[in-house]
Amino acid sequence: MLVTGAIGVNMQVTGAIGVYVLVTGAIGVYVLVTGAIGVYVLVTGAIGVNMLVTGAIGVYVLVTGAIGVYVLVTGAIGVYVLVTGAIGINMLVTGAIGVNMLVTVAIGVYVLVTGAIGVYMLVTGAIEINMLVTGPIGINMLVTGAIGINMLVTGAIEINMLVTGAIGINMLVTGAIWINMLVTGAIWINMLVTGAIGINMLVTGAIGINMLVTGAIGVNMLVTGAIGVNMLVTVAIGVYVLVTGAIGVYMLVTGAIEINMLVTGAIEINMLVTGAIGINMLVTGAIEINMLVTGAIGINMLVTGAIWINMLVTGAIWINMLVTGAIGINKLVTGAIGINMLVTGAIGVNMLVTGAIGMYMLVTGAIGVNMLVTGAIGVYMLVTGAIGVYMLVTGAIGIYMLVTGAIGVNMLVTGAIGVNMLVTGAIGVNMLVTGAIGVNMLVTLIRKVISSIASDYIHN
């Protein structure tokens, strides 16, 4: 598979046995599989996989999926696409100008990400259907909001994911400007998010029930702050993580202005991210632990780091994380067994993160670059959004590499300002994504690789 494009065009085609995910988009240019500007083709996938990508200027349409796994991404000026899934899965994504939308689903697992000026969406459907505010067993999803607000609430049995970000305001669950509502989850899931202008707050939990201010069995959580403060609280059995802060100051265990501290948790847990004004913070957990990352104007920071700085945080068992980049760059943080993580940015910044058993991901880039790497057996997540920016996520069965792929995988990602890049792979899958301002980069070598990839994929 090969995807190329022009200014502000992001394209990706990746897949793994029985699982495929494709995302394309950018004002006026779309190219999927083996095509060029203005050209679209149909691609049939491998075992239990069917993919179709068509569209013209300002139109994005993608439908991919395999038994129990579906992924849809749409977005473009005045264009929307509805995708109905297969076994017990239904997905709908709509939006307006400059809106990127994604809905990925797997049996018992749902992930929704929305974002873009004045655009919000809700995802309903799947086994027993997902309702507003309340969801079916192990599932709860609701995303609504107002101008400049990105909200996400997803969850499956023992899995919760949150992604927020917008101009100084991050809102979770249902809510509008300055308003955050409460969303009760299903079995093992309980989430509460409240706050005021410029404040981000999240409380997710695993076994038992986690609440704001008060905790559940063996869990104590407290989140407080003032304007311009991002707060996150994640917990697991007997594990506590607290992050508080105020304008230009973040307190972690023992920390002050411009100081980032690492807090080690219980077994398989260790991750804490704090920063200064306009910096996002992330706290990842371990088994059955949720992770959340919120953004701010133009800067998304994961792991330990301050303005313009991203540090490396090594995780515990099954966890490997690396986040690097510069201003306006998205970062990624992977998780551990049964853990999913999402990261979203603000204006012009979007990102995604997720992980699963034996997964490792790396994302790097430059100004205005969106990157995403996610994947896990039966679990897929994608995050898109921000004016004129789109990205893709995909995964392989326990294998992720950058530049160089794993077994039977070749991946190459290059680009410059305004270019989105993705690196994902799966057994027998080849992917290539290139792009730069007004230029489609396909050197002779790349073309040869692409030709071979396309040929192999078609045969498969």
User: What's the Cα-to-Cα distance from 369 to each of 89, 350, 365, rounded to whole Å?
Assistant: 32, 8, 6
Contact between 33 and 53 under an 8 Å Cβ cutoff? The reply is yes
Tally of CB atoms within 10 A around 317: 11
Q: Which two tokens stand for residue 18?
A: 């029985």
Mean pLDDT (whole number) for 232-254: 24
What pTM was computed for the model?
0.14
What pLDDT does residue 58 have? 24
- Cα-flanking dihedrals φ and ψ of residue 451, to 5°? -55, -45
pLDDT at 459 over 50: yes
Mean pLDDT (whole number) for 377-385: 23
What pLDDT does residue 458 have? 54
What pLDDT does residue 449 have? 47
Indicate the residue type of 149: I
Q: For residue range 178-223, what is the model confidence (pLDDT) as tens digits?
A: 222 222 222 222 222 222 222 222 222 222 222 222 222 222 222 2
What pLDDT does residue 456 have? 58
What pLDDT does residue 460 have? 56
Local confidence band at 452 (pLDDT 50, 70, 90 cut-offs) = low
Give the Cα-Cα-Cα angle 133, 21, 61 (nearest 5 degrees): 80
Query: Distance (Å, rounded) from C-alpha 192 to C-alpha 209?
Result: 11
Local confidence band at 130 (pLDDT 50, 70, 90 cut-offs) = very low
Q: Classify residue 369 by its DSSP letter.
A: B
Arithmetic mean of pLDDT over the chain = 25
Query: Distance (Å, rounded) from C-alpha 416 to C-alpha 156?
Result: 37
Q: For residue range 282-322, what is the model confidence (pLDDT) as tens digits?
A: 222 222 222 222 222 222 222 222 222 222 222 222 222 22
Q: For residue range 103-122, what is the model confidence (pLDDT) as tens digits?
A: 222 222 222 222 222 222 22
What pLDDT does residue 430 have? 26
Mean pLDDT (whole number) for 20-38: 26
Ordered DSSP codes for 399-457: ---SSB-STT-EEEE---TT--EE----TT-EEEE--BTTB----HHHHHHHHHHHHHH
Q: Which two tokens stand for residue 100?
A: 């990127």
What pLDDT does residue 451 have? 55
